[in-house]
Amino acid sequence: MSDLPPDLPRLRTLETWLRLQLDTVRTAIRQAERREQERQRGEQQRPPAPDWVVQMSIGSQHPMAVHVGGCHMAGKHQRGISREQALRARAEGVDGCGHCGVDAELGFLDG
């Protein structure tokens, strides 16, 4: 037993409706593929994370702590720095993050 109508006019109407639905689905697929390609292109073009970051205070922009790049404890107010800048900041008294073990990574010995 079929759920389809038995007569030709209604079958043709159903065929037209299904064709329109298929076109809509295909358009949505193309858009999703385009978004995925753009996402992948963005990931490929993203600059690499810095090896070292300095966490800055809000507003006054004073260095608060040195972190290994990618440390989630660094917060939003941070900027990438070189290894030499990280060592200099630690030597000048800027705190080192105990969570990411920045001192061990830098080979920094206090004192």
Question: Could you tell me which residues are beta bridge partners of residue 63?
Answer: 56
Contact between 84 and 109 (Cβ < 8 Å): no
Q: What is the pLDDT of residue 12?
A: 97
Given a cut of 70, whether residue 111 has pLDDT beyond it is: no
pLDDT reported for residue 110: 67
Distance CA(62)–CA(94), nearest Å, equals 10
Give pLDDT, residue 23: 98
Return the domain boundaries, the chain: 1-46, 52-106
**Segment 43-100, tens digit of pLDDT:** 999 988 899 999 998 877 789 999 999 899 988 899 999 999 999 999 999 999 989 9
